[in-house]
Structure 1
Amino acid sequence: MIKVAMTHVYVDDVPTAHTFYTDVLGFETRTYLDLGGGTLFVTVGAPGGTQQDLQLLLEPGEGPIAEPYRRALYEAGIPCIVFAVDDIRAEYARLRTRGVHFTHEPQEQGPVIAAVLDDTVGNLVQLAQPKD
């Protein structure tokens, strides 16, 4: 059996992304390594998880491949990643009180209710909840 262990999201600034993904969205730090020379290796994961659970690498987004890719997604309004939530309306309200900017509020999209937020480090992120 193969399982996804880690995926990534390109970000403008790793420390700022780390703060947003932990302090605002509620993820927990799994790995925080200073590799020297201003290079950080930072992963976050779902609250209460372990190192063996899926981790999200907050990866520096500059460079000839990452920057155009990230910019194109953002300008097209396409989320770079989707996070599942249990109660999207409650999560939307919680995040709005924390100052999170949403490009659209929760709305039905096929089999899910979805909302899209700006992660402040160059990405749009979709929150999705299956419809009952």
Structure 2
Amino acid sequence: MRIVVTSVYVDDQQQALDFYTDVLGFQKKLDIPLGEHRWLTVTSPDDPDGVELLLEPSAHPAAATFKQALKEDGIPFTSFGVTDIAAEHSRLVDLGVKFTQPPTKFGEVTIAVFDDTCGNLIQIAQQG
């Protein structure tokens, strides 16, 4: 068994696609119309056949409540690994990304948290 798709709930799928591709650097993998929404996934350019991130509409009332609670408590919805957190933080700041937590070391991991413009806080993490 392996993970093939995981989701992040987004307020607007097109806005999310633009942010996750143009700013974060992911690549669009699938874009399948499903009524008023889409099955819309992105992958890492380093692993285009790896785990897909589904930019899932947060249309269900429970999703909106869940997202809001996480954001209000400062809890990231998910985490992405990076090899150089200082460089990635600097690159994203230069692109206008708003961080709620700058790179901070916690034992063997350094993390930073930013707003994805789609209703979520996202963590980036560097091991070591």
Matched letter for residue 30 of structure 1: K
How many residues align structurally?
Answer: 128
Partners of 2:4 and 2:60 in 1: CA distance: 24
Shift, 1:93, TM fit? 0.4
**How far does the alpha carbon of each residue in 1:2-53 deviate from its partner, in whole angstroms, 9 at most, with x for none?**
11000000010000000000000000001011223x21110001004334x1
1:25-64 matched pairs, under 5 angstroms = 25-36=24-35, 38-51=36-49, 53-64=50-61
Structure 1 equivalent of residue 21 of structure 2: 22
Partners of 1:101 and 1:109 in 2: CA distance: 21
Partners of 2:71 and 2:121 in 1: CA distance: 6
Query: Does 2:83 align with 1:86?
Result: yes
Structure 1 equivalent of residue 96 of structure 2: 99
Q: Which runs of 4+ in 1 moved over 3 A?
A: none
Q: 2:104 touches 2:111 (CA, 8 Å); kept in 1?
A: yes
Two-structure CA RMSD over aligned residues (Å): 1.0
Matched letter for residue 50 of structure 1: P
Shift, 1:128, TM fit? 0.2
Shift, 1:65, TM fit? 1.4
Name which of structure 1's ranges 83-92 and 104-113 shifts more when overlaid on structure 2: 104-113
Q: 1:129 to 1:48 in 2, by over 3 A?
A: closer
**How far does the alpha carbon of each residue in 1:37-96 deviate from its partner, in whole angstroms, 9 at most, with x for none?**
x21110001004334x10000000122210111100000000000000000000000000
Structure 2 residue ranges without an equivalent (≥5):
none
Give the structure-2-normalised TM-score. 0.96
